[in-house]
């Protein structure tokens, strides 16, 4: 998608080290971390919102989420992690390519 920063990272146009990548998604460190460990899990397919997902997108995202527990230790998330998906302006969404924040590496405030 033209002008989408996460599509540009996916395509290597903007360099950002991928800490994990497979056929469906990649994981990068958030450039402005809100916790000791702050990653973004980004589906390779561009869509803006949960509301835009096809059934296939939903199945793919589910598969991506299922992988996270196996990846957690390698990402330094040994004692758990928090997932956040911001949706829309009130939630503070700034990048309109669906992504999942992964926070941890420390005890997080409630
Ligand atoms: P959201 O506010 O939910 O849309 O999240 C977008 C996130 O992308 C923010 O936490 C930003 O810090 C992060 N971000 C924006 N540009 C980059 C980048 N080039 N590399 C890594 N993270 C980024
Ligand atoms: Zn995109």
Per-run averaged pLDDT (10 residues), the chain, 110 residues: 95 96 98 98 98 98 98 98 97 98 97
Active-site residue among 38, 46, 97, 99?
A: 99
Centre of ligand 1 to C-alpha 37, Å, is: 14
**Per-residue b or e along 66-89, where b marks 16 or more CB atoms closer than 10 Å to that residue's CB:** eebeebbeebebeeebeeeebeee
Q: Identify the residue whose C-alpha is closest to ligand 1 atom 1.
A: 93
Q: Is 97 exposed, middle or buried (0-12, 13-18, 19+ CB in 10 A)?
A: buried
Residue carrying the six token digits 């990272």: 9
Position 1 scores a pLDDT of: 81
Centre of ligand 2 to C-alpha 5, Å, is: 6
Position 102 scores a pLDDT of: 99
Position 28 scores a pLDDT of: 98
Please state the atom number of ligand 1 nearest to the C-alpha of residue 32.
12
Length of the chain, please? 110
- Residue 99 among the catalytic residues: yes
């Amino acid at each position: 998608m033209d002008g989408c920063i996460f599509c540009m990272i996916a395509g290597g146009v903007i360099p950002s080290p991928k800490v994990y990548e497979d056929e469906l998604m990649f994981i990068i460190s958030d450039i402005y971390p809100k916790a000791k460990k702050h990653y973004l899990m980004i589906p390779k397919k561009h869509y803006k919102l949960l509301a835009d997902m096809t059934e296939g997108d939903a199945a793919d995202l589910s598969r991506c989420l299922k992988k996270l527990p196996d990846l957690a230790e390698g990402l330094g998330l040994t004692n758990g992690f928090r997932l956040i998906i911001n949706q829309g302006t009130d939630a503070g969404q700034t990048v309109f390519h669906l992504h999942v924040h992964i926070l941890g590496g420390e005890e997080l405030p409630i």
